[in-house]
Structure 1
Amino acid sequence: MTAPPDPAGGADTAIEVELALSGRTVTVPPGTSILSAVEEAGVQVLSSCREGTCGTCETPVLDGVPEHRDSLLTERERAAGDTMLICVSRARTPRLVLEL
């Protein structure tokens, strides 16, 4: 699954995602979803739609700033930045720490 384009028009760049519970760090290449990269690293995550509409892959964000590309979270939830849908969203910072 590829990540949808940045709604602000910026280019995707590689990001580092630290998985706090499993102790792994995953590099997510441009155009690849965080969910896909995490699964390729062998970490199982519940997911369903892979389109940012169902909320199954909603994941707590412990550090970093998510770039929300889903159509489910409210503006208040997006502004809080403490959760994200990893099937489509990326990061505004070069590194995220997720509760995975």
Structure 2
Amino acid sequence: MLDVVRDAVPGVPYSCEEGYCGSCETRVLAGIPEHHDTVLSEDERRTGRTMMICVGRARSSRLVLDL
């Protein structure tokens, strides 16, 4: 996901690209994220309000991010 986002928003923050630093945390406006990071708690994952876009994926057919 990060590669696609970087094409649209070249200045998007990121660092480790492995899901453990949290610098790419992005707010989810719509859709269901699939989490593969080690930053968010289980409660934060359940709410689906943010995600780490370096390792995250979309569970829904559409995912809208606050970029």
Q: Which runs of 5+ in 1 are unaligned?
A: 1-33
SS of the equivalent of 2:63 reads: strand
TM-score by length of 2: 0.94
Question: Once the 2 structures are TM-superposed, how far is the Cα of residue 94 of structure 1 from its aligned partner?
Answer: 1.0
TM-score by length of 1: 0.64
Alpha-carbon distance between aligned partners in 1 of 2:5 and 2:27, rounded to the nearest angstrom: 14
Q: Which runs of 5+ in 2 are unaligned?
A: none
Find the counterpart in structure 2 of residue 46 from structure 1: 13
Higher helix share: 2
Displaced runs of 4 or more, over 2 A:
none
Which structure has more relative contact order (CA 8 Å, sep 6+)? It is 2
Paired residues in the alignment total 66
Higher strand share: 1
How large is the RMSD of aligned CA atoms in angstroms? 0.7
